[in-house]
Amino acid sequence: MSQLLQQLLKERNEPGKARGIYSVCSAHPWVIRASMQQAIADGSPLLIEATSNQVNQDGGYTGMRPKDFRKLVEELAAEEGLALDRIILGGDHLGPNPWQNLPAEEAMRRAEAMVAEYAAAGFRKIHLDASMACADDVSPLPTAVVAERAARLCRAAEKAATGEKPGYIFGTEVPVPGGATESLNGLEVTRLKDAEETWRIHREVFHAHGLDDAWERMLGMVVQPGVEFNHDSVVNYDRAKAVTLTSLLDRAHGLVFEAHSTDYQRPDLYRALVEDGFAILKVGPALTFAMREALFALAAIEKELVPPEESSRLPEVMEEVMLAHPKNWSSHYHGNTKEQKLLRRYSYSDRIRYYWNDPDAERAVELLMRNLRAVTLPETLLSAYLPLEYREVRQGVLQAEPEAIVLRQIRRALEPYAAACFG
């Protein structure tokens, strides 16, 4: 699969071509299913990535190890009719990220074990992310330290991989997973000088560690193109600010840039990113954000149709679950009680995505689906709460069924990516 990705990215460097691929960074079955439906509609490959927080040797917040995630993807692909040779599995932010509170050496040992599990499970795109400082590190880490740790992670993956060897992503200017938590004022594009230094040092370190073969499979470098989002705002891509940075691609032997935090950009800007060399576009929170929008809209319809004592109370249940288990949002959402409640439900960073596999949340979603399948969804209520889906139901291209509506809302967030990469 890394060969498929390498060929795709190689093509984008040919004259007159500007192709890319979007990376679906989510472990939610509905998001994965919707992305598969989109890939089938487009006749395109599909890159699906699990993150180090979602999936690791300890189970992550999903309870899955890499082999479990692969099994989930393969089962969903069989149900959706997507051939496995169209799917590329990747690992995102693979490094000490889940163990930053530990001393660096211990965190790195755990990170090496995680990367090895990903490689052994057949993940063919590995993001070597050693950019974060651990408990006994200086911050920010020097590029040389990041490169040395990336080489350690790469060696672990190379040793564990069976069959086709993985392709890799590197870089030191890695945005915070899941979006920023503070003001976006002062967000800057990666300086050309810094990108050149990162590329040069990593190349030298990999050579020094005997990883030349792995370096030949280096797919791209993570840089900051000047896009980001926080709780309630988005910084749009400005290609004029990135033109100096993108000049590096002319000298970097077929390398491309990987852009993180591209969620919520305007549709036309995805095409601009791809044309400018940001050929791998990461998307994650925007997809579960769209899913949550659809579920809450369906819950509003449920309130109109179902007696209160039989209702799922989905928004209220999610609030109760998040308050009972604040670990995944309390350090991110600040302000007074009212402001925090608003963020828990509606923040672009979508920390609510950590809670959909909570047993109480799962029961509420299941009850919502069951209640709405037992009734006819009135077109008038669809018009009130889900106007875009209402139009498609009226046109006969969408079934007025709750799960179909949720999947369609997720695909709507994916369509601008697909158009930019494969249109």
Domain ranges of the chain: 2-283, 288-412
358 has which bridge partners?
none
pLDDT band with cut points at 50, 70 and 90 for residue 119: very high
Specify the amino acid at residue 89: L
Helical packing angle, 143-160 and 104-120, nearest 10°: 40
Q: What CATH topology corresponds to 2-283?
A: TIM Barrel (3.20.20)
61-71: string of b/e by CB count within 10 Å (b at 16+)?
bbebbbebbbe
Q: In sequence order, which residues have a C-beta less than 8 Å from that of residue 132 and are 6 or more positions away? A: 95, 96, 97, 100, 141, 174
CATH number listed for the domain at residues 288-412: 1.10.400.20
Indicate left, alpha or beta for 104 from its phi (over 0: left) and psi (-120 to 50: alpha): alpha
**Helix, strand, or coil (residue 16):** coil
Q: What is the structure's pLDDT at 255?
A: 87
The arithmetic mean of pLDDT across residues 141-170, rounded, is 97
Residue among 25, 20, 29 at smallest CA distance from 80? 29
For 282-337, give the secondary structure using H, E and C: EECHHHHHHHHHHHHHHHHHHHHHCCHHHCCCHHHHHHHHHHHCHHHCCCCCCCCH
Specify the amino acid at residue 6: Q
Segment 309-352, tens digit of pLDDT: 999 999 999 999 999 999 999 999 999 999 999 999 999 999 99
Chain-centroid distance of CA 86 in Å reads 18
Interstrand relation of 234-235 and 256-259 (parallel, antiparallel or unpaired): unpaired
End-to-end CA distance of the chain: 22
Segment 272-308, tens digit of pLDDT: 999 999 999 999 999 999 999 999 999 999 999 999 9
Residue 181 · residue 230 · CB < 8 Å: yes
Residue among 105, 125, 112 at smallest CA distance from 165? 125
Q: In sequence order, which residues have a C-beta less than 8 Å from that of residue 8 and are 6 or more positions away? A: 19, 21, 45
Q: What is the structure's pLDDT at 185?
A: 72
Q: What is the structure's pLDDT at 186?
A: 72
